[in-house]
Amino acid sequence: MKNLLLAPFNKAPFEHIETDHFKPAFEKALQDARAEIDQITAAKEDPTFENTIEALEFSGAHLDRLSSLFFNLNSAETNEEIQQLAQEISPMLTEFSNDIALNTSLFQKVEAIYQLKDTLSLSVEQDMLLEKKYKHFSRNGAHLPQEKKNRLRAIDKELAQLKLTFGEHVLAETNAYEMHLTKEEEVDGLPEGAKEAALQLAASKGKEGWLITLDYPSYIPFMTYATNRDLRKKLAIAFGSKGFHNDKLDNQELVIKIANLRHKRATLLGYASHAHFVLEERMAETPQKVQSFLEELLEKAKPAAKIEFDELKEFANQEDGISDLYKWDGSYYAEKLKQKRFDLDDEKLKPYFKLEKVIDGVFRISETLYGISFKEVDDVETYHEDVKTYLVTDDKGGEIALLYADFHPRPGKRGGAWMTSYKPQYQKGRVNERPHISIVCNFTKPTKSKPSLLTFNEVTTLFHEFGHALHGMLANTSYPSLSGTSVYWDFVELPSQIMENWCYEKEALQLFAHHYETGELLPMDLITKIKESANFQEGMATLRQLSFGFLDMAWHAKDPSAITDVKQHELDAFKDTLLFPDTPETCMSTAFSHIFQGGYSAGYYSYKWAEVLDADAFAYFKEKGIFNKEVAQKFKENVLSKGGTEKPMDLYKKFRGSEPKLDALLERAGLLKKTG
């Protein structure tokens, strides 16, 4: 089969790709990208913004496309062959990245332009691009002597491989675990849909009874509804001990190595810690500011969380005589208490949230707000039959984007939900290249008797990822590295988190919350209850998120060289946020993919940071009307379309007129009432 990856492509040729096409394609793309860099450095003319900064920006475009395609496959449809290839390709890319960052003659040209920046009459976007390119060099070792440059290369190469191995271990642990149940009483309490899915899974593997796995659509219902406490404990420990078994898939040593290498890298570059290095390019700016932010929220949330936890303990005691509440009891009794307090549970809601209707709903909301339309198309190649594709157009019929959507779990797909891009938006000459965006989730699959019906939590997850997708699809900038979600990490969650707000609004729910069998609209009393229950146990939920932020900073804001015990280090980080007793068999860090495999190291706080932005921003929508065209247009113009072309706070103030206020989050979360 002809290797279509060897040459530039527009739409990803998924159905024509063989795994062995990737390596030669990467080798050719790297060769071409190196030639483009050589051309810039060898130019005899004086360096200019056009022949150096813009030329550098558009170099390696084919390599970037190839990388986004390959690494998303490694997350969404992987196998041993692809994982092995990733271990070979990652060091090649790291080496190339270092070759650019540590290229002295290239840096000299960039620096020469940077010194003249005030005389060049650059646009705001050009100025930001120059700043970004210069900092890429200066922050990544361009000033270092050769010996230190060599050390930096070695660290980066090792880090790339360790992060991949970490993720492979987590995926292997997730796929390897099955809880095989054969007695009806063992699945007592499980909703019919969850039981049917477990029955089908067991049958597909030639087994009698039911199979429960660590995939979210299997794990969450069991932890929420299964009456058998011992089995909940067994499953919770399996879930919480991924990478923590002192075997070949153990991640403890990897975690310590990654943290230490990141610290060494940062100090080599002149920073006090990895967090100091990372946060220099974030809205939060310093570890001290992050710590203060987390501690301020902790002070506000902890009293509320304690009240909620005591209520939950008292309730569990009244219900079942349980005096000590453990992690495997949390979701179970929280759901029972929620049902009692609000007469609301996910099983009542799920029939109103058929996946296809929710997709249609998020499309209609986006159409109303931003004037775009979505049409499912079947002439786009995909990497799996589950993947749907949509053409996105503006109100004049012009193409805005291509959207891929992949909704269900399978063995070669990692857990969680994410948005990615197969092609960035940018403008070259008179052509505005439109983006190809993908959202990937792990929602309950349809069964023989039922379509895919979402829990309310899955509905908000879909809206969240779709918010990221809108940030990518509505991008309208000149340069790919400033386009879409290429923004400061603590700003990137604003478009995603603000979208979740529409899930709680009657006007929005009426567009898509219809019973999958009768077509009946979600009853008004259930809409009211969704709204009322939005802040249920918000103090506990806030404390949980803060605990992850504290753990992240504990790994990355100080010298980690004295850490020998991963579990003890974690307990020290959690000391102010713990509600449930610790479970010695479990460890968060060894499966904390966000910070040890993904891009959230020294950045997990950004979820809460962005919640402050989104609460403040949505308060503006509420004030003017949640479908107010004027507010939506301001959000589109100043946030969604602008990417990283200006500083985030400047963009936010252009949208909102002022900086965000923490009180907007506390008020929405109901924490002001509980703490006085």
Residues marked active site are found at 465
Judge whether 449 and 455 are in contact, CB under 8 Å: no
How many angstroms separate the CA atoms of 510 and 523, rounded? 9
How many angstroms separate the CA atoms of 227 and 231, rounded? 9
DSSP 597-650: TSS-TTTTTHHHHHHHHHHHHHHHHHHH-TT-HHHHHHHIIIIITTTTSS-HHH
How many angstroms separate the CA atoms of 326 and 313, rounded? 10
Question: In this structure, how many other beta carbons lie within 10 angstroms of the beta carbon of residue 274?
Answer: 27
DSSP state of 518: T
How many angstroms separate the CA atoms of 405 and 423, rounded? 15
Judge whether 218 and 374 are in contact, CB under 8 Å: no
Judge whether 640 and 470 are in contact, CB under 8 Å: yes
For the record, the structure tokens of 161 come out as 């491989």
Judge whether 140 and 163 are in contact, CB under 8 Å: no
Q: Smallest Cα–Cα separation from 399: which of 474, 344, 343, 308?
A: 474
What own/partner pairs with CB < 8 Å and gap ≥ 24 does 66-69 have? Answer: 66/5, 66/22, 66/25, 66/26, 66/29, 67/93, 68/420, 68/421, 68/422, 68/423, 69/5, 69/12, 69/422
How many angstroms separate the CA atoms of 79 and 84, rounded? 9
Three-state SS sequence of 224-284: HHCCCHHHHHHHHHHHHCCCCCCCCCCCHHHHHHHHHHHHHHHHHCCCCCHHHHHHCCCCC
Please report how many Cα atoms fall inside a 13 Å half-sphere around the Cα of residue 265, on the Cβ side.
24
Please report how many Cα atoms fall inside a 13 Å half-sphere around the Cα of residue 298, on the Cβ side.
19
Q: Using CA of residue 90, residue 598, residue 590, residue 414, what is the dihedral sign?
A: negative
How many angstroms separate the CA atoms of 366 and 465, rounded? 13
How many angstroms separate the CA atoms of 271 and 275, rounded? 9
How many angstroms separate the CA atoms of 365 and 368, rounded? 5
Q: Where are the alpha helices (DSSP H) in 351-447?
A: 355-370
Enumerate residues 6+ apart whose C-beta is below 8 A from 176: none
Q: How far is CA 296 from the centre of its chain?
A: 25
Judge whether 427 and 406 are in contact, CB under 8 Å: no
Place of tokens 């100080």: 558
